[in-house]
Amino acid sequence: MTQRIIKGRTLIPDEWRVVEKDSALIPAGERIILPLALWSTTKSREQYGVWLDSEQTADDLTATHSADLLNDIALIAINFPTHTDGRGFSTARLLRERHGYKGELRAIGAFLRDQLYYLERCGFDAFALTDKGTLEDALRYFSIFPTHYQNTADQPLFKRQGY
């Protein structure tokens, strides 16, 4: 059965496969997300997705791949080894707001539906959610708060309120 992910707040079938971090072999086939080290060895990087582990920063990616070319990558995924490891929130914002990445930014790993709201605010638009509960029910967690104080890509609340 095809697995599903959340993308753009809807459920879609998904065929991308994530290759383990210590793997040295690129499997045959399409729709493959490679760990950063392996991905940087490939010549045709655009055809693969790349995933960053939590200790790998946006700069680690742009060090091996010019930021100008980021938008040629099929997708970038960021791993959450545990739901309490918050590094991926910064990585996502940096990719979006500093490096101008506009493609799919996918959260993978052990994050919770309770974090979807923050993840989306930081720039994630795709979520391979694996916690307990249905994906249908998870969708409501995007709109758990009616507004927000901080600016991420937008203005802070006090500005929007005319302060």
Partner 1 sequence: MYQYNRDDQSLIDARVEQFRDQTQRYLAGQLSESEFLPLRLQNGLYIQRLAPMLRIAIPYGMLSSRQLRKLAHIMRYYDKGYGHISTRQNIQLNWSHLEEVPDILAELAEVQMHAIQTSGNCVRNITTDQFAGVARDEIVDPRPWCELVRQWSTFHPEFAFLPRKFKIAVSASKEDRTAVYLHDIGLLLRHNAAGEIGFKVLVGGGLGRTPVIGSVVREFLPYPHLLNYLDAILRVYNQFGRRDNRYKARIKILVRSMGTEKFTAAVEKEWQHINAPLVDEATVAKLQKHFPLPAYDRSLSDDLLNNDNTIAQDNSAFAQWMTHNVMPHRQAGYAIVNLSLKRTGMAPGDITDDQMDAIADLADEYSYGEARTTHEQNLVLADIRQSDLPALWKRLTQLHLATANIGTLHDIICCPGGDFCSLANAKSIPIAESIQRQIADMQKLYDLGDIDLNISGCMNACGHHHIGHIGILGVDKKGAEFYQVSLGGNAGFPPSVGTILGPSFAQERVPQVIESIVRLYVDQRQAGERFIETYRRIGIEPFRTHIYPQ
Q: How many residues make contact with partner 1 (CB under 8 A)? A: 38
- Residue 17 near partner 1 by CB under 8 A: no
- Residue 57 near partner 1 by CB under 8 A: yes
Taking CB under 8 A as the binding criterion, the range among 7-15, 27-35, 39-47, 81-89 that sits at the site for partner 1 is 81-89
Query: What is the side-by-side strand order in the sheet with 3-7?
Result: 10-14, 3-7, 126-127, 104-109, 75-80, 49-52, 32-35, 17-18
- Exposed (0-12), middle (13-18) or buried (19+): which is 8, by Cβ within 10 Å? exposed
- Residue 102 near partner 1 by CB under 8 A: no
Q: In angstroms, rounded to a whole number, what is the distance separating the alpha carbons of residues 15 and 33?
A: 10
DSSP 19: P
Distance of CA 144 to the CA centre of its chain: 20
- Residue 152 near partner 1 by CB under 8 A: yes
Q: Which is nearer to partner 1, 20 or 59 (CB)?
A: 59
List contacts with partner 1 (CB under 8 A).
57, 83-87, 89-91, 93, 98, 112, 114-115, 117-119, 121-122, 131-133, 144-152, 156-159, 161-163
